[in-house]
């Protein structure tokens, strides 16, 4: 009685033969799992095999173009490998180009660990390499003996970075002038508590600053000219003895009888002196009625002006406080800009009522 029929189904990998096709298919699944060499229980051997050495000496330069297309490569691998399809993917770079992922784990775990640890720490910008390294990482994670070395290497790298950070911090802490944030805050609170001068946290408005600024400005003018302070035209002194055509002194110091408030003190300097943002053009020379060559600055042919940008950083000395209170200005000049003759609506206008082009 014949119990077994002819074994016509032979495994191409190991050469074993089977009488039924289902038996061969079941057997071939075993070859889909990598045969990982172990150094000890739970740890893969990191040294490369002789086969890996021979491949590294003469790496394959020709790579199947289908392996460069992620979608086609994964479809072919899933069809051939089933649940272990990632092992059928082929690496297309490095000294083992053209070899499958399963072959890499069987012949050189050490190279795979180096490659994946670099990828985990530094990432990858190339899309094709990123896809291959990510799939190789997923495949390696399925085998604990391989994952053991990868986790160990990543943990050592994290500890080294922590030690470097601690050593850098310790260098600063050894400096006798070093103080932590907590120490600085505690010192500041102590200074405030022990201070003999009361510290006010109330906000100061521009209205409170205006009298003091006007007083300081008037005091400096009276001191420099040796006479009591009075509303004077400061255009010549602030612009280097250059005549400002059209500038009126009562804009800076309006008389009590007028209804106008004049120009806000923070806007006076930049409107008079700033060539880019101010009211006046660059200086030009001309001969006056006396035959003297003098310099003057003419008004720009525009009516809307914006102040210089507020300082965002401090280099050297502190910026002038006025720079933080500037505002846009609209200089009403229908005569000079639009060539229109319009009578001033102010009843206290200092210009003669019949003067042509009074503004």
Query: What are 221-277's pLDDT values in tens digits?
Result: 444 344 333 333 444 444 567 888 888 887 888 777 666 677 888 888 888 888 888
Same domain for 359 and 240, yes or no, is yes
Spatial CA neighbour of 67 closest among 86, 90, 51, 44: 90
Which tokens is 23 given? 């038996």
Q: Model-level pTM?
A: 0.43
pLDDT tens digits along 295-331: 888 888 888 889 988 776 666 666 677 778 888 988 8
Residue with tokens 């001191």: 223
Report which DSSP code applies to 325: S
Q: Give the domain extent around 121.
A: 36-157
Per-residue pLDDT band at 134 (split at 50, 70, 90):
very high
**pLDDT tops 90 at residue 107:** yes
126 assigned to some structural domain: yes
List of residues 6+ apart from 253 with CB closer than 8 A: 230, 231, 232, 262
Q: What does each C-alpha distance from 351 to 325, 343, 344 come to in angstroms?
A: 31, 10, 9
Same domain for 13 and 136, yes or no, is no
Same domain for 88 and 62, yes or no, is yes
Spatial CA neighbour of 26 closest among 16, 34, 35, 36: 16
| The pLDDT of residue 358 | 40
180 assigned to some structural domain: no
Per-residue pLDDT band at 64 (split at 50, 70, 90):
confident
Q: What is the rounded distance in angstroms from the CA atom of residue 64 to the CA atom of residue 273?
A: 74
Distance from the first to the final alpha carbon of the chain: 129
Mean pLDDT of the chain, nearest integer: 75
Residue with tokens 């053991």: 148
Same domain for 27 and 86, yes or no, is no
Same domain for 236 and 359, yes or no, is yes
Q: What is the rounded distance in angstroms from the CA atom of residue 335 to the CA atom of residue 341?
A: 6
**pLDDT tops 90 at residue 111:** yes
Same domain for 239 and 358, yes or no, is yes
Mean pLDDT, residues 3-17: 73
Report the range out of 33-47, 153-167, 337-351 with the highest average pLDDT.
33-47
Same domain for 55 and 87, yes or no, is yes
Contact 110, 48 (CB under 8 A): yes
| The pLDDT of residue 191 | 62
Q: What does each C-alpha distance from 40 to 36, 37, 328, 345 come to in angstroms?
A: 11, 9, 79, 101
Q: What does each C-alpha distance from 179 to 163, 173, 186, 192, 210 come to in angstroms?
A: 21, 8, 11, 18, 40
Q: What is the rounded distance in angstroms from the CA atom of residue 349 to the CA atom of residue 358?
A: 9
Q: What is the rounded distance in angstroms from the CA atom of residue 266 to the CA atom of residue 211?
A: 13
CB atoms under 10 Å from CB of 137, counted, come to 17
How many domains does the structure of the chain reveal?
A: 3
Q: What is the rounded distance in angstroms from the CA atom of residue 88 to the CA atom of residue 76?
A: 9
Per-residue pLDDT band at 220 (split at 50, 70, 90):
very low
**pLDDT tops 80 at residue 347:** no
Q: What is the rounded distance in angstroms from the CA atom of residue 68 to the CA atom of residue 193?
A: 71
Q: What is the rounded distance in angstroms from the CA atom of residue 61 to the CA atom of residue 289?
A: 92
Angle of CA points 183, 189, 195, to nearest 5°: 130
122 assigned to some structural domain: yes
115 assigned to some structural domain: yes
């Amino acid at each position: 009685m014949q119990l077994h029929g002819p074994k016509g189904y032979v495994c191409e990998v190991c050469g074993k033969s089977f009488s039924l096709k289902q038996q061969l298919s079941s057997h071939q699944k075993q070859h889909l799992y990598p045969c990982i060499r172990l150094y000890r229980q739970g740890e893969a051997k990191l040294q490369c095999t002789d086969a890996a050495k021979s491949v590294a000496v003469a790496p394959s330069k020709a790579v199947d173009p289908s392996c460069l297309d992620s979608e086609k490569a994964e479809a072919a691998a899933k069809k051939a490998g089933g649940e272990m399809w990632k092992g059928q993917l082929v690496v297309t770079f490095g000294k083992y180009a053209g070899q499958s992922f399963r072959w890499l784990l069987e012949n050189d775990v050490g190279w795979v660990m180096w490659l994946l640890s670099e990828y985990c720490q530094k990432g990858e910008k190339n899309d094709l390499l990123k896809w291959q390294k990510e799939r190789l990482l997923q495949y390696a994670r399925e085998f604990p003996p391989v994952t053991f070395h990868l986790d160990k290497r990543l943990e050592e790298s994290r500890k080294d970075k922590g030690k470097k950070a601690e050593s850098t911090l310790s260098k600063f802490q050894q400096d006798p002038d070093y103080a932590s944030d907590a120490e600085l805050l505690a010192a500041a609170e102590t200074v405030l508590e022990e201070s003999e001068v009361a510290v006010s946290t109330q906000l100061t408005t521009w209205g409170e600053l205006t009298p003091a600024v006007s007083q300081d400005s008037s005091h400096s003018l009276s001191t420099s000219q040796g006479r009591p302070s009075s509303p004077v035209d400061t255009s010549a002194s602030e612009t280097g003895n250059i005549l400002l055509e059209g500038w009126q002194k009562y804009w800076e110091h309006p008389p009590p009888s007028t209804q106008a408030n004049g120009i806000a003190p923070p806007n006076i300097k930049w409107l008079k002196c700033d060539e880019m943002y101010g009211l006046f053009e660059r200086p030009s020379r001309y001969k006056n009625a006396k035959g003297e060559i003098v310099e003057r600055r003419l008004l720009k042919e525009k009516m809307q002006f914006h102040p210089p940008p507020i300082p965002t950083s401090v280099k050297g000395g502190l910026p002038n406080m006025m720079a933080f209170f500037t505002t846009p200005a609209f200089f009403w000049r229908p005569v000079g800009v639009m060539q229109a003759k319009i009578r001033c609506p102010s009843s206290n206008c200092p210009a003669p009522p019949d003067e042509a082009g009074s503004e």
